[in-house]
């Protein structure tokens, strides 16, 4: 008789070689066949290690000390080589770029099948079948790097599914995707789960989607399994989430805040549709008021610092990346530049720094065309924090990293020392000034890069997808830095598709899609243009959709956050008998 359990972890503890602590501690977990288990936890909680242990890479590849046992479909992950476990366990990693090994889409699918000695006729039959299922049909001969990020991740999933594993393990597969790509990935997995009784184990920070698609949620903290339960149970354990630097879905957050206002809420919903129904129910029995909100529509009357005029940019292969972009950035603004993957956001930012030159049109900094500046001159005035901190670290200590730019710009040694001290203090890195930057956790590595840029005292700081791959605490920490810089008078541009993070920071939203500016307005107006956002594959935060539901019955302002939506509700005062 086939066991109902596909994976059984008993007393699993693991310590990486040359590491002091345990990455996993006493994990006991059974995973049922055909279930969708989401694993959540702060950065460093042990999610990746858990994923790698399920196909034996931990400890077979990394070594280290491993205790307990993991059985996958009856096979012990210690005894069976990873390459053999691949028959049962498919693995998908965070970065689509690093897991694609072949030079064409069809070869990528074929690779694992070839290794598993699948007969050629069977390989030929499975490729179109699986590509059709992940909606990549017609792209068989394409080089994987010609695909969008979302397509690449779907290809990685398809390659893992081609071997028809019983268990599919995905380590943060949606962290780099835009909201549309995230939902698309979840839906795809749900479809396969239903169609093939596939078991899915997935780590990630996408609380809204996990609540909607997962059957169970496991919460890891410092290598320990803190809680396992339904999305409803886990995402309404607010103190547990807070203690672990995790956030609930916005809908749950909103109803928790409503409850805190002494309004009776029967059950805190964790999915949007349930939330909308609960709002409808509340509207029938609770007073709705119009909350006071900060005005965000004012236009700054400062001078223009960055400007593009009829900007077009074509890549050498003919791809049109920017089309007639007209944008004016005033000194002291805080702008959220949003759009799908490939909308042209980073390409636009690179024009500000003269890293790319317009095919047509003009780009100006402080009134002067950027082509008249050297990149280094612009870089000292426009700080650019790129997405991946690791590609911006090239020295052997945090202090050296910060001083790199200052030496290039020819500052005196006294000035360099003062600025290093100032920057490291600002970023809270004084304690690790002599440490190799790459040995720091990802959040700290990002702060090293920011410190190095701040040392140049730029007038404008551009953050390019700064919250990608960060847990909620990490993301908020970086955005708080951006807010501090804004309060010091700097102009801030944050490129992002994490819309839920921006209302507390940005005043103005510029939405891009397919190389054009689709919308340039205050953030409240932008977030409530739901149809337009969907056109560029962005989904407004759940709080906005809940606010729109309320607004359909009662006139209220354009609300953005769970706190603002909750403030609409006040309990009815019972009349005295």
Partner 1 sequence: MTTYKFQTVERDSVFTRLDFRSKILIMIVVTLLAFLWEDPIYEAVLAVLVLGACLAAGVKRGYITLLLAGMSPFYLFMLLTHAFFNVAQAERLLAVSNLHPIFTLPADLWLIGGLEATWEGFLYGANVMFKTMSLTLVIPLAIFTTDVDEMISSMVHARVPYKLAFIFSSTFRFSPLLWSEFNKIVAAQRLRGMALESMGLMKRVRVYARVVVPLILSALVRSQQLEVVLQSKAFNGDADRTYFHEVQMEIVDYFLISILFLFSIAAIYLRVQFGWGKFSVWF
Q: Which of residues 277-316 bind partner 1 (CB under 8 A)?
A: 315-316
**List of long-range contacts for 232-237, beta carbons under 8 Å, 24+ apart:** 232/267, 232/270, 234/40, 235/207, 235/210, 235/211, 235/270, 236/268, 236/270
Containing 218, the helix (H) or strand (E) segment is: strand 216-221
When binding is defined by CB under 8 A, the residue of 15, 49, 55, 548 that contacts partner 1 is: 55
Identify each DSSP E strand in 497-534 by its residue range: 508-513, 516-522
When binding is defined by CB under 8 A, the residue of 42, 105, 112, 481 that contacts partner 1 is: 112
Q: Which stretch binds partner 1 (CB under 8 A): 28-36, 51-59, 223-231, 479-487?
A: 51-59
> Any contact of residue 317 with partner 1 (CB under 8 A)?
yes
> Any contact of residue 472 with partner 1 (CB under 8 A)?
no
> Any contact of residue 224 with partner 1 (CB under 8 A)?
no
Which of 243, 216, 241 lies closest to 230, judged by CA? 216
Residues between 134 and 173 that touch partner 1 (CB under 8 A): 143, 145-146, 159-160, 163
Structure tokens given for 113: 């099948």
User: What is the total count of residues that contact partner 1 (CB under 8 A)?
Assistant: 71
> Any contact of residue 563 with partner 1 (CB under 8 A)?
no
ω into 59 cis (within 30 of 0): yes
The DSSP-derived string for 292-330 is ------PPP-S-EEEEEEEEEEE-TTS-EEEEEEEEEEE
> Any contact of residue 446 with partner 1 (CB under 8 A)?
no
Q: Which stretch binds partner 1 (CB under 8 A): 69-77, 121-129, 131-139, 542-550?
A: 121-129
Which residues 6+ apart lie within 8 Å of 262 measured at CB?
571
> Any contact of residue 412 with partner 1 (CB under 8 A)?
no
What is the C-alpha R_g of the chain? 25
Q: Which stretch binds partner 1 (CB under 8 A): 35-43, 55-63, 418-426, 542-550?
A: 55-63
Least distance (Å) from partner 1 to the CB of residue 201? 14
- Cα(554)–Cα(283) distance, rounded to whole angstroms? 9
Identify each DSSP E strand in 332-411 by its residue range: 334-339, 360-365, 368-369, 382-385
Q: What single-letter DSSP state applies at residue 372?
A: G
Closer to partner 1 by CB, 427 or 452: give it.
452
Q: Which stretch binds partner 1 (CB under 8 A): 211-219, 406-414, 477-485, 560-568?
A: 406-414
When binding is defined by CB under 8 A, the residue of 456, 479, 544, 559 that contacts partner 1 is: 456
> Any contact of residue 366 with partner 1 (CB under 8 A)?
no
Contact letters for partner 1, residues 80-109 (x by CB under 8 A): -xxxx-xx-xxx-x----xx-xxxx-xx--
**Under 8 Å between Cβ of 491 and 459:** yes
Residues between 334 and 353 that touch partner 1 (CB under 8 A): 353
Least distance (Å) from partner 1 to the CB of residue 466? 15
> Any contact of residue 547 with partner 1 (CB under 8 A)?
no
Q: Which stretch binds partner 1 (CB under 8 A): 50-58, 263-271, 496-504, 505-513?
A: 50-58
Q: How many CA atoms lie within 13 Å of 112's alpha carbon, on the beta-carbon side?
A: 29
Closer to partner 1 by CB, 180 or 404: give it.
404
When binding is defined by CB under 8 A, the residue of 186, 255, 384, 527 that contacts partner 1 is: 384
Q: Which stretch binds partner 1 (CB under 8 A): 24-32, 119-127, 215-223, 529-537?
A: 119-127
Structure tokens given for 429: 């890195």
When binding is defined by CB under 8 A, the residue of 393, 416, 501, 533 that contacts partner 1 is: 393
Least distance (Å) from partner 1 to the CB of residue 394? 4
Q: Which stretch binds partner 1 (CB under 8 A): 253-261, 404-412, 415-423, 471-479?
A: 404-412
Least distance (Å) from partner 1 to the CB of residue 485? 17
Which of 326, 304, 341, 281 lies closest to 569, judged by CA? 281
Containing 430, the helix (H) or strand (E) segment is: none
- Cα(141)–Cα(144) distance, rounded to whole angstroms? 9
The DSSP-derived string for 66-91 is EEEEEEETTEETTTS-HHHHTTTEEE
């Amino acid at each position: 008789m086939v066991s109902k359990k596909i994976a059984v972890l008993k007393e699993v503890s693991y310590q990486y070689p040359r590491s002091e602590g345990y990455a996993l501690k006493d994990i006991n977990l059974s995973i049922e066949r055909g279930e969708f288990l989401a694993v959540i936890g702060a950065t460093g909680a042990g999610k990746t290690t858990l994923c790698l242990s399920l196909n034996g890479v931990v400890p077979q590849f990394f070594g280290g000390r491993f205790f307990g046992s993991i059985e996958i479909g009856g096979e012990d992950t210690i005894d069976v080589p990873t390459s053999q476990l691949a028959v049962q366990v498919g693995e998908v990693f965070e970065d689509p770029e690093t897991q694609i090994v072949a030079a064409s889409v069809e070869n990528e699918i074929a690779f694992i099948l070839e290794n598993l000695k699948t007969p050629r006729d069977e390989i030929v039959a499975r490729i179109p079948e699986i590509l059709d299922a992940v909606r990549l049909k017609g792209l068989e001969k394409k080089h994987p790097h010609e695909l969008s990020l979302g397509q690449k991740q779907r290809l990685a999933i398809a390659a893992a599914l081609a071997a028809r594993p019983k268990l599919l393990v995905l380590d943060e597969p949606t962290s780099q995707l835009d909201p549309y790509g995230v939902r698309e990935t979840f839906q795809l997995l749900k479809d396969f789960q239903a169609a093939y009784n596939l078991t899915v184990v997935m780590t990630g920070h996408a609380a809204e989607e996990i609540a909607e698609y997962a059957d169970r949620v496991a919460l890891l903290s410092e290598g320990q399994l803190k809680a396992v339960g339904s999305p409803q149970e886990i995402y309404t354990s607010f103190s547990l989430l807070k203690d672990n630097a995790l956030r609930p879905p916005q809908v749950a957050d909103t109803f928790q805040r409503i409850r805190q206002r002494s309004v009776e809420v029967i059950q805190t919903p964790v999915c949007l549709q349930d939330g909308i129904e609960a709002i409808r129910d509340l509207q029938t029995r609770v007073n709705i008021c119009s909350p006071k909100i900060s005005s965000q529509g004012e236009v700054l009357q400062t001078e223009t610092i960055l400007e593009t005029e009829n900007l077009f940019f074509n890549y050498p292969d003919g791809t049109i990346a920017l089309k007639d972009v007209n944008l004016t950035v005033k000194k002291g603004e805080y702008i959220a530049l949003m759009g799908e993957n490939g909308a042209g956001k980073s390409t636009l930012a690179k024009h500000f720094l003269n890293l790319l030159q317009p095919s047509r049109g003009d780009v100006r900094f402080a009134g002067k065309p950027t082509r008249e500046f050297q990149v280094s001159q612009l870089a000292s005035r426009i700080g650019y924090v790129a997405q991946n901190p690791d590609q911006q670290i090239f020295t052997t200590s945090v202090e050296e990293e910060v001083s790199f730019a200052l030496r290039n710009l020819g500052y005196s040694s006294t000035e360099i020392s003062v600025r290093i001290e100032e920057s490291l203090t600002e970023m809270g890195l004084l304690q690790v000034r002599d440490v190799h930057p790459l040995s720091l956790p990802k959040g700290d590595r990002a702060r090293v890069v920011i410190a190095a840029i701040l040392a140049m005292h730029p007038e404008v700081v551009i953050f390019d997808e700064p919250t990608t791959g960060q847990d909620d605490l990490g993301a908020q920490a970086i955005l708080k830095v951006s807010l501090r810089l804004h309060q010091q008078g700097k102009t801030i541009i944050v490129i992002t598709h994490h819309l839920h993070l921006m209302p507390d920071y940005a005043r103005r939203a510029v939405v891009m899609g397919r190389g054009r500016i689709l919308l340039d307005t205050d953030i409240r107006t932008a977030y409530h243009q739901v149809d337009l956002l969907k056109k560029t594959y962005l989904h407004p935060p759940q709080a906005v959709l809940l606010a729109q539901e309320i607004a359909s019955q009662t006139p209220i302002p354009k609300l953005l956050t769970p706190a603002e939506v909750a403030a609409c509700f006040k309990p009815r005062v019972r009349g005295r008998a």
